[in-house]
Amino acid sequence: MVVEILAVGTEILLGNIVNSNAQYLSRKCAALGFSVYHHSVVGDNENRMTDAIRCALDRSDIIILTGGLGPTEDDMTKEVCAKVMGFELAEDPHTRQRIEEYFKATGRKKVTSNNWKQAVVPVGARVLDNDNGTAPGLIMEKDGKTAVLLPGPPGELKPLFTEQVAPYLRSLQPEVIYSQMVKVCGIGESGAETMILDLIDAQTNPTIATYAKTGEVHLRVTAKAESEEQAKKLVKPVVKELKKRFGINIYSTDEEERLEDVVVRLLKKYGLTLTTAESMTGGMLAGRIINVPGASKCFQEGFITYSNKSKRKTLDVNKSTLKKYGAVSEQTAKEMAKGGVFATDSDICVAVTGFAGPEDTPEEPKGLVYIACYIKDQVFVKEFHFTGNRMKIREQTVVQALDLLRRCIIECYKNEK
């Protein structure tokens, strides 16, 4: 079945915001086994919206409309869509009550009268309760065509989609789609594809799709079957084969788990504390770790040692090391990592030093980065040559530092429980 995504919003057409809802919905629909052939964006204009909805209903089975469900006069997605599809509108007492409760819960005393516009729904439509706002989602079915209306703010759209729209869409599919994510770090996209070329070439059901992210490759294994159980059965041996081929390079098989989540999970598992000593990433590495809820249990302190002086004073890097090998060297990275552990009494320190540019000279080659990890009285160090601009080099460095940390913890603590 073919799904089409139609966003309503002048702010998208003016370029004030990017249409990230379309990306989110496309990815979700693809994972559910639907084909998406068109995205469109139209403004808050009745004639153009009417044409756009007609055109979308004509060429697709299901249209998902986002935005334009608010309380102002400009918001007319529901009204226009109901008119095009031939639905009457009437106030829904249940929705009115929910809006009242929502305002009470959020402490708003005055409810302006235009808010009750959001309680009006097409007669016969399914109303999807919105826990994060006042505009409900709507599903309208007629003559074999379906329109799904969702509010524009991603904080409202996403929970409505996963909790109510996805199960509905799944029920329309004759087959069940099941997919499993395998997240790899430490191998490039083309390298990863080469490692599984035979699997990709031979695939029919399940299929393997690869997605490149900064420093990572995500592999999605998707199967179609008559039941979820059967689909899972098809996926399982392929995931097993991927685990065999990629081994420790796989950091997670959980859709939502990020690299920093894995690091914090491992630190907690073994009761370890961590510190960071950053030069060219300047706090970005610590920032990603600290963004994991509960990270404070294992991360107590970090250092941003940009100057040589601070590397010496705070991390006790030898003056002679800096002079002989330079601030960007294997030796300095190692001493930074060791110094971080000794300065804080942490179990582990990960240290980064490198050239992020924009300068690029033979003496200071842009993209040369050393990452060291001091753990269990040993120090591991890796050399990298990254490409891209200043920000890109720093992002890749952060990913590789997290990954080195992950590998070192697993390697050094795998025999402990």
**Considering beta carbons, is residue 15 or 362 the nearer one to its own copies?**
15
> What Cα–Cα distance (Å) separates residue 406 from each residue in 60, 373, 411, 414?
46, 10, 9, 11
Give the interface segment with its own copies, choosing from 138-146, 223-231, 304-312, 409-417 (CB under 8 A).
304-312
The CB-of-127 to its own copies minimum distance in angstroms stands at 27
Residue from 93, 144, 247, 358 touching its own copies (CB under 8 A): that is: 358
Q: Which of 87, 112, 84, 86 is nearest to 99 (CA)?
A: 112
> What Cα–Cα distance (Å) separates residue 385 from each residue in 356, 364, 368?
11, 12, 5
**Considering beta carbons, is residue 122 or 340 the nearer one to its own copies?**
340
Q: How far is CA 192 from the centre of its chain?
A: 20
d(CA 372, CA 408): 10
**Considering beta carbons, is residue 49 or 125 the nearer one to its own copies?**
49
- Per CB under 8 A, contacts with its own copies among 265-284 are 276, 278, 280-284
d(CA 117, CA 91): 8
Question: Should residue 71 be labelled a site residue for its own copies when binding is judged by CB under 8 A?
Answer: no
**Considering beta carbons, is residue 15 or 247 the nearer one to its own copies?**
15
What DSSP letter does each residue of 263-293 carry, written as one string?
Answer: HHHHHHHTT--EEEEESTTTTHHHHHHHTST
d(CA 27, CA 196): 23
Token pair for 187: 């191998």
CB 259 within 8 A of CB 251: yes
Question: Should residue 301 be labelled a site residue for its own copies when binding is judged by CB under 8 A?
Answer: yes
Q: Is 15 helix (H, G, I), strand (E, B) or coil?
A: coil
CB atoms within 10 A of CB 43: 16
**Considering beta carbons, is residue 309 or 376 the nearer one to its own copies?**
309
**Considering beta carbons, is residue 52 or 372 the nearer one to its own copies?**
52
Question: Should residue 390 be labelled a site residue for its own copies when binding is judged by CB under 8 A?
Answer: yes
d(CA 284, CA 61): 45
**Considering beta carbons, is residue 30 or 120 the nearer one to its own copies?**
30
Residue from 1, 26, 116, 411 touching its own copies (CB under 8 A): that is: 26
Residue from 27, 104, 269, 376 touching its own copies (CB under 8 A): that is: 27
Largest CA distance in the chain: 82
Question: Should residue 30 be labelled a site residue for its own copies when binding is judged by CB under 8 A?
Answer: yes
Give the interface segment with its own copies, choosing from 19-27, 165-173, 229-237, 334-342 (CB under 8 A).
19-27
- Per CB under 8 A, contacts with its own copies among 327-346 are 344
Q: Which of 394, 398, 329, 311 is nearest to 358 (CA)?
A: 394
CB atoms within 10 A of CB 348: 24
The CB-of-93 to its own copies minimum distance in angstroms stands at 31
Give the interface segment with its own copies, choosing from 15-23, 69-77, 169-177, 244-252 (CB under 8 A).
15-23
Phi/psi at 158 (5° precision): -65, -50
How many residues are recorded in the chain?
417
**Considering beta carbons, is residue 43 or 71 the nearer one to its own copies?**
43
The CB-of-30 to its own copies minimum distance in angstroms stands at 5
Question: Should residue 103 be labelled a site residue for its own copies when binding is judged by CB under 8 A?
Answer: no
The CB-of-161 to its own copies minimum distance in angstroms stands at 12
Phi/psi at 354 (5° precision): 180, 180
The CB-of-285 to its own copies minimum distance in angstroms stands at 7
- Per CB under 8 A, contacts with its own copies among 106-165 are none
Give the interface segment with its own copies, choosing from 41-49, 170-178, 318-326, 404-412 (CB under 8 A).
41-49
What DSSP letter does each residue of 182-197 carry, written as one string?
Answer: EEEESS-HHHHHHHTH
The CB-of-121 to its own copies minimum distance in angstroms stands at 28
| DSSP single-letter state for residue 136 | P
User: Rule CB under 8 A: which residues touch its own copies?
Assistant: 12-20, 22-30, 36-43, 45, 48, 52, 55, 211, 276, 278, 280-287, 289-291, 293, 295-296, 299-307, 309-310, 314, 344, 357-358, 390-391, 394
